[in-house]
Amino acid sequence: MDPLEPIRRVSQIREFTSGVVPDEAIDQLLELARWTGSSKNTQPWHFIVVRDRETLRKLAELRPNINWAAAAPVGIALVLTGEDAHSESYDEGRVTERLLTGATMLGYGAGVAWFGEPHHEAEAKRILGIPESRQARQMVLIGRRKSTRDPRPTGPPRGRRPLSELVSFERFGAPKR
């Protein structure tokens, strides 16, 4: 089997079974996240593990696009220092991908939920007690995968563009010789 196949198959999960995600699994994911590379090794992140049903419900209510998050067993909210938006958004993407991939490799599924507009982010910070100066854009929801379905009435199509549309050789736009 292609050793990269398990990573290639990581997809956004929005429907979870009621199965528990034990603390040990969350600890493993946090350890994986902690070792993510970051700009100048600043490690600008902080993670909030959220299991409280009411808190998850309130966060999921911020925007219809993330309502599925209310039924997830556990979420990890990402908090950045807010000191360098440019590099921290890159770092945040890297650490998020580790959480998604790690959860999948442990036999779970995970999905990203962006809080949304600045006023949604402000409300998420209030709910989670995050200082205003910090950046908090999203949480990653984790659970046993029930399906890969997107339960929302309007979501992006699945699948990916072919490599032939994405890659050039030696110079932009040049095909492989």
Interface residues with ligand FMN (CB under 6 A)?
11-12, 14, 65-66, 112-114, 156, 158
Supply the minimum distance, in Å, between the C-beta of residue 89 and ligand FMN. Answer: 9
State the residue number with the nearest CB to ligand FMN: 11
Supply the minimum distance, in Å, between the C-beta of residue 88 and ligand FMN. Answer: 14
User: Residue 144 and residue 138: Cα distance in Å, rounded?
Assistant: 20
Residue closer to ligand FMN (CB basis): 112 or 127: 112
Q: How far is CA 77 from CA 22, 40, 45, 70, in A?
A: 17, 23, 10, 14
User: Residue 117 and residue 115: Cα distance in Å, rounded?
Assistant: 7
Residue closer to ligand FMN (CB basis): 21 or 78: 78
Residue closer to ligand FMN (CB basis): 65 or 81: 65
Residue closer to ligand FMN (CB basis): 166 or 170: 166
Task: Indicate the Cα dihedral angle 150, 110, 68, 65, nearest 10°.
Answer: -70
Amino acid at position 18, single letter: S
